[in-house]
């Protein structure tokens, strides 16, 4: 895994008003000054100096905090100029940035490629037009498809950011999003449950009874369903849930927030898999299930929620559990009779 050097570009005059976003409120307050090329260089130097032992696999500079290609081209160039000397010296291997699907076109891809950008994440959020309109996103699913095509043609790795719990989201629109996102064959996906943040349009909608957020359990179930679907098609989900912390909690009004959201999703996936396996086994038949040696606590669930659920369902006594140091994370499999009892 690449060693990631984060460079935050404060939100700068986004003309959009997505209902879940409170950037306009935040930037109305005294925020940090725009990052200069020298600032970019200083951040990279600091990180490289701080962790010299961790960059063997190559460092990745990741621009966070805005729709990068929505910035004026000169400003994009300035920021990328800050990374250029490190790329040339081989001290940084790749550059990642995120943007909106409608901020990608042929010349933009050419520009990014010439400046050494190799990974672009698209804030797709949904592949359903009704949902995108209800969110005020201002782009279409077709633009997401076209952006992926252009980026691929330019030789870029493509990541998609998707949200669960958006206004007007239904089971049908959710499933359409999952299916169509998978069809785009992205290199990776990030899943974010919608949170209601103070200062956002969604907070007003919530107050007026026009929006109901997912419960924590509902958010976990949807994200788990998404991740299982992508995993079955070989698509990596590299993150689930926003970065937890006091800054986020300061703005949080409602929604499926938990600092261990991703862990809860993985636990749910292991529970689902266990239930499916046991459903196909005759009662009384001994079953040995194998999990990764690193998944003991995930299998049990946050505060042993999975154990409690399996007990409630009368399934806890139906299997024995063994661990396998080589088994992929977050998988559950049935062991053959011939396999040794514990492989670790």
| Phi, psi dihedrals of residue 11, rounded to the nearest 5° | -50, 130
Asked whether position 323 contacts ligand SF4 by CB under 6 A, the answer is no
In the complex, least distance from residue 19 CB atom to ligand SF4, rounded to whole angstroms: 9
In the complex, least distance from residue 187 CB atom to ligand SF4, rounded to whole angstroms: 21
Q: Kindly tell me which of 124 and 223 has the beta carbon lying closer to ligand SF4.
A: 124
Asked whether position 16 contacts ligand SF4 by CB under 6 A, the answer is yes
CA 344 to chain centroid: 31
Stretch that binds ligand SF4, among 18-26, 39-47, 230-238, 285-293 (CB under 6 A): 18-26
Among 2, 8, 10, 17, binds ligand SF4 (CB under 6 A): 17
Q: Kindly tell me which of 11 and 152 has the beta carbon lying closer to ligand SF4.
A: 11
Site string for ligand SF4, 93-132 (x = CB under 6 A): -------x--------------------------------
| Per-residue CA distances from 41 to 5, 10, 53, 96, 206 (Å) | 11, 16, 20, 16, 42
Q: Kindly tell me which of 47 and 257 has the beta carbon lying closer to ligand SF4.
A: 257
Helix (H, G, I), strand (E, B) or coil at 283: coil
Tell me the helix, strand and coil percentages in the chain, rounded to 5. 45, 20, 35
Q: Which of residues 50-89 bind ligand SF4 (CB under 6 A)?
A: 67
Q: Which of residues 23-42 bind ligand SF4 (CB under 6 A)?
A: 23
| 123 neighbors 100 (Cβ within 8 angstroms) | yes
Helix and strand counts by DSSP (H, E) for the chain: 13, 12
Residue among 214, 215, 155, 144 nearest 177 (CA): 144
Stretch that binds ligand SF4, among 8-16, 145-153, 190-198, 277-285 (CB under 6 A): 8-16
Q: 333: buried, middle or exposed (CB in 10 Å: 19+, 13-18, 0-12)?
A: middle
Asked whether position 14 contacts ligand SF4 by CB under 6 A, the answer is yes
Q: In the chain, how long is the greatest CA-to-CA distance?
A: 69
Among 21, 150, 163, 235, binds ligand SF4 (CB under 6 A): 21
- DSSP character for 65? S
Q: Kindly tell me which of 10 and 39 has the beta carbon lying closer to ligand SF4.
A: 10
Element (H, E) at 216: helix 216-232
Asked whether position 226 contacts ligand SF4 by CB under 6 A, the answer is no
| 310 neighbors 267 (Cβ within 8 angstroms) | no
Asked whether position 18 contacts ligand SF4 by CB under 6 A, the answer is yes
Asked whether position 12 contacts ligand SF4 by CB under 6 A, the answer is no
Residues that bind ligand SF4 (CB under 6 A): 11, 14, 16-18, 21, 23, 67, 100
């Amino acid at each position: 895994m690449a060693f990631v050097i984060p460079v935050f570009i404060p939100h700068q005059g986004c003309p959009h008003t997505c209902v879940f976003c409170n950037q306009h409120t935040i930037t109305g307050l005294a925020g940090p000054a725009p990052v200069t090329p020298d600032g970019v260089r200083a951040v990279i130097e600091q990180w490289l100096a701080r962790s010299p032992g961790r960059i063997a696999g190559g460092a990745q500079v990741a621009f966070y905090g805005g729709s990068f290609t929505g910035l004026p081209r000169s400003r994009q160039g300035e920021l990328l100029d800050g990374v250029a000397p490190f790329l040339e010296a081989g001290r940084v291997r790749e550059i990642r940035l995120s943007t909106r699907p409608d901020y990608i076109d042929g010349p933009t891809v050419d520009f990014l490629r010439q400046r050494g950008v190799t990974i672009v994440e698209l804030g797709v959020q949904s592949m359903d037009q009704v949902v995108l309109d209800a969110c005020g996103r201002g782009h279409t699913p077709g633009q997401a498809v076209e952006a992926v095509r252009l980026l691929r043609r330019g030789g870029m790795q493509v990541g998609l950011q998707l949200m669960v719990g958006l206004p007007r989201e239904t089971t049908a629109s959710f499933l359409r999003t999952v299916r169509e996102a998978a069809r785009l064959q992205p290199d990776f996906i990030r899943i974010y449950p919608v949170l209601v943040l103070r200062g956002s349009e969604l907070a007003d909608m919530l107050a007026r009874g026009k929006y109901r957020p997912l419960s924590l359990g509902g958010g976990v179930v949807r994200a788990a369903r998404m991740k299982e679907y992508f995993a079955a098609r070989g698509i990596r989900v590299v993150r689930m849930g926003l970065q937890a912390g006091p800054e986020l909690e300061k703005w949080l009004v409602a929604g499926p927030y938990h600092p261990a959201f991703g862990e809860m999703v993985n636990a749910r996936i292991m529970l689902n898999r266990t239930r499916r396996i046991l459903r196909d086994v005759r009662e009384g038949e001994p079953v040995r299930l194998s999990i990764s040696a690193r998944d003991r606590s995930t299998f049990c669930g946050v505060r042993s929620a999975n154990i409690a659920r399996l007990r409630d369902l009368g399934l806890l006594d139906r299997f024995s559990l063994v661990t396998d140091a080589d088994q992929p994370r977050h998988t559950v499999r049935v062991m053959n009779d011939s396999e040794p009892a514990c492989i670790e």
